Amino acid sequence: MTSVETPSFTELEAIAKRVRRDIIEMITAAKSGHPGGSLSAVELLVGLYFDQMKHDPKNPKWTDRDRFILGKGHAAPVLYSVMAEAGYVPKDQLNTLRRMGSIYQGHPDVRFIPALEASTGSLGEGLSVGLGMALAAKMNGSPSRTFVMLGDGEIQEGQIWESAMFGSFHKVDNIVAIVDYNKIQLDGWVKDIMDLEPLGDKWRAFGWHTITIDGHNLSEVRNAYVEAAATKGKPSVIIAHTIKGKGVSFMENNPKFHGSAPSADEFTKAMAELA
Amino acid sequence: MATNTKYELKIGPATREGFGRALVALGRENDQVVVCDADLSKSTFTHLFAKEFPERFISCGIAEANMVAIGSGLAASGKIAFVASFSAFVLNKGFEQLRVTAAYPNVPLKVVGTHSGISIGEDGPSQMSIEDLALATSLPGFVVVSPADDVAIFELVKTLAYHPAPCFIRAGRSKAAIIYTEGEKFPIGGSKTLLDGNDLTIIAHGLMVAESIRAAEALEAEGISARVIDMYSIKPHDVEAVHKAVSETGAIVVAEEHLVDGGLGVKIAQTVASATPCVMEFVGVQDRYAESGTPESILDKYGLLARDVISASKKVLARKK
């Protein structure tokens, strides 16, 4: 995957659909998990792993690889599915999600999947770890870039803003933060719990090149990553407007599916919609 | 080190100074060494490294939680990464990050906390770290050390830099009595029997090592033979030396500049209780915070002088069968 042709959007859409089906199957099999925030991040992750990132599933510790950290670790199912599609981990075991002994732990765990860059699950820490990795790459003269996906609720954590200050002060221009702005967190709507607005202004005030897109539009996703790569002297953040539960009608914009598994009936309905 | 060793206990540099010099030595021998600090470099002595290797010194501002996780990212990418601050800040404000970004994924981050204990003096309890060992040793996989003098910290920093696990190194602000001579080695999990004796064993770390030597010498004059062990490696600790102390002396005093709750004493008691139990006493900060004052007056008021080790020793001997 170190040198591939640019995939067509049709190909990426097909992968995205398979990933959505995996997510529903995994979480249904596990009887617990976070479907909403996994479904909202599908295009952003498919665009990274199959279009933008330089990485090699056969050589996961390649020094100059691009790195990805899922700050919002509870969206593990989308990452597992994308990594399985890419060939890092076995696809036929995805349905062991959250079971004892499974490599597909409840939140990403490097002890079980060494190809992961970081163990996450405690919100607010991934961007700092990613900045450390990006800084190491710069010090080593490596072309490696680091991508960190943040939940919208996650950026209520104070550490995010400590790391935001750090990133611009140290001119860490090989990092890209991606905010999966699906507007819903566990207890309800973000705007009712701790509003983030004006979000773009906040990141700009902290010295980040800020790109705002529709996070389900693969063309906008590609352009945003390309624009971030071309931005020198400052870090970039992509504020991706997304829909929680995207792709399954009764999960969309429904806080209930932040952290609960579909019932048998709901599973059947969801899979029919994703056919 | 043997029975008749005499310790002059001349005043030497603070352990934080030895830490700073060790960083410079490491920086010269290995270009992968990087150091993060949170606006305390002149106090932690990382400024020595910053001056010689500005391109490898990372200023994090007053943001310890971020600094710890930045350090973990650097360490996970193959750097020998040190993060330093006052122990009270890096452990307490950075604890969750130490847990999730270093301990749990076993990232070999090196954490250094200076200004540990209550001997920092005038700045008072907000800056005094009396819970740091309880916190650091609670993290699975962490190696935790508390060196007593300049030679010990210099060697331990240089050794732990290459250890493939996360480590916490405890350093102090005050001048520390010189105990060791250059060239002494300090393996992880080891200890140093500084004085031999057979009536009781005093186990100490950090600044209490010198106080324990003073106590043992005073006890000697009264005909009491005290063994003194520097248990510089808090986690893992030298279990064999503890078992030997139990079987050969039958009484143990643990002396430390830390809360008695959660300190080395608790861990030694666990080791003792799981083999053949013996009587024990504990010298340390009781369940309270200290206050401002000169280091000497604070150590006096809060019971961390040779005098306090002596009275604990007599108490433990009175209970010994």
A190, A183 in Cβ contact below 8 A? yes
| A250-259 pLDDT per residue, tens | 999 999 999 9
Please give the pLDDT value at position A30: 97
| Closest to A179 measured CA to CA, from A18, A37, A10, A32 | A37
Q: What percent of chain A has pLDDT over 70?
A: 98
Interatomic CA distance for residues B249 and B219, integer angstroms: 15
Residues 66-85 of B with CB under 8 A from A: 66, 68-79, 81
Contact (CB<8Å) B73/A158: no
B185, B156 in Cβ contact below 8 A? no
For the segment A126-131, the average pLDDT, to the nearest whole number, is 98
Q: What percent of chain B has pLDDT over 70?
A: 99
CATH fold, domain B12-177, is Rossmann fold (3.40.50)
Give yes or no for A118 touching B (CB within 8 A).
yes
Largest CA distance in chain B: 62
Q: Classify A127 as helix, strand or coil.
A: helix
Question: Checking DSSP bridges between strand B80-86 and strand B200-204, what pairing results, if any?
Answer: unpaired
Report the gap between the CA of B93 and the closest CA in chain A (Å): 11
Q: Is the pLDDT of residue A1 over 80?
A: no
For the segment B196-224, the average pLDDT, to the nearest whole number, is 98
Please give the pLDDT value at position B6: 84
- CATH match of B192-319 with 3.10.20.440: no
For the segment A139-167, the average pLDDT, to the nearest whole number, is 98
Give yes or no for A201 touching B (CB within 8 A).
no
Tokens 């009275």 belong to residue: B311
- Sign of the torsion angle spanned by Cα atoms A211, A217, A222, A223: negative
A175, A146 in Cβ contact below 8 A? yes
Please give the pLDDT value at position B161: 98
> DSSP state, B99?
I
Q: Is the pLDDT of residue B2 over 50?
A: no
DSSP string, A43-83: HHHHHIIIII----TTSTT-TT--EEEESSGGGHHHHHHHH
Contact (CB<8Å) B71/A162: no
| A3-50 pLDDT per residue, tens | 457 899 999 999 999 999 999 999 999 999 999 999 999 999 999 999
DSSP string, B19-86: HHHHHHHHHHH-TTEEEEESS-HHHHSTHHHHHH-GGGEEE--S-HHHHHHHHHHHHHTT-EEEEEEE
Sketch the domain layout of chain B as residue ranges.
12-177, 192-319
- All residues of chain B having their beta carbon less than 8 Å from the beta carbon of residue A125 are 69, 96-97, 100-101
Burial class from Cβ neighbours inside 10 Å (0-12, 13-18, 19+) for residue B261 reads middle
| Closest to A257 measured CA to CA, from A243, A239, A272 | A243
- Which contiguous run of DSSP H or E holds residue A166? helix A158-169
Interatomic CA distance for residues B9 and B126, integer angstroms: 30
Task: Measure CB to CB from residue A132 to each of B63, B73, B104 and give the nearest one.
Answer: B73
Please give the pLDDT value at position A2: 46
Task: Measure CB to CB from residue B60 to each of A134, A158, A166 and give the nearest one.
Answer: A166
Structure tokens that stand for B137 in this block: 């040793």
| A75-103 pLDDT per residue, tens | 999 999 999 999 999 999 999 999 999 99
Mean pLDDT estimate for chain A:
97
Mutate to test the interface with A, among B100, B104, B107 (most CBs of A within 10 A): B100
For the segment B45-73, the average pLDDT, to the nearest whole number, is 98
Question: Which superfamily is assigned to A9-273 in CATH?
Answer: Thiamin diphosphate (ThDP)-binding fold, Pyr/PP domains (3.40.50.970)
Q: Known catalytic residues of B?
A: 64
Q: Classify A15 as helix, strand or coil.
A: helix
Q: What number is the ipTM of this complex?
A: 0.95
- All residues of chain B having their beta carbon less than 8 Å from the beta carbon of residue A140 are 77
Which segments of chain B does DSSP mark as H helices, in order? 15-29, 41-44, 47-52, 64-76, 87-92, 95-97, 132-137, 150-160, 208-221, 239-249, 264-273, 295-301, 306-319
| B81-106 pLDDT per residue, tens | 999 999 999 999 999 999 999 999 99
Residue A260, number of CB atoms within 10 A of its CB: 18
> Taking CA atoms, what residue in A is nearest to B62?
A162
Q: Is the pLDDT of residue B115 over 90?
A: yes
Please give the pLDDT value at position B252: 98
Distance between terminal CA atoms of chain B?
Answer: 29
Please give the pLDDT value at position A83: 98
| A232-242 pLDDT per residue, tens | 999 999 999 99
Confidence of residue B4 (pLDDT cuts 50, 70, 90): low
